[in-house]
Structure 1
Amino acid sequence: MTLRPGGYVSPFPAKEQPNYALRIEGAAVIERLHNLPTSDGGTVPCNPVYCRECERERTWKEGQTRGI
């Protein structure tokens, strides 16, 4: 996933890493995954299909603070 210039940037840390969630055969897809905090103090990578931060980065404009 590439970020649009001037678009929403998530406050959660994210990096390009392999996403094994939807892999059928072969190598994993390299995607931008957010590291979401857990209650025990660790982090877990998001699933881009269901992640609200991924959706916001795809669709929100700069400065937008609420969904339309």
Structure 2
Amino acid sequence: MARNVWEWVADWYEAYPDSAYQSPFFGHKYKVVRGGSWNHPADDARCARWDIAHPDRRLRVVGFRCARDD
């Protein structure tokens, strides 16, 4: 299902626990998006591929998937 649009996920862009890595982008500023989109190279079309996006910005290449758990 990858490569239609980048998918919003629930995760904020944060450091892994016990990581010494610091980034000015950490801290509930950016959400993680996964999977690549139609205007990215084919090797981006993987669920393991991720990027970040500002949650208040509209992008035509970012969307979400509806899911239900019964």
Query: Quick check: TM above 0.5?
Result: no
More helix by share: 1
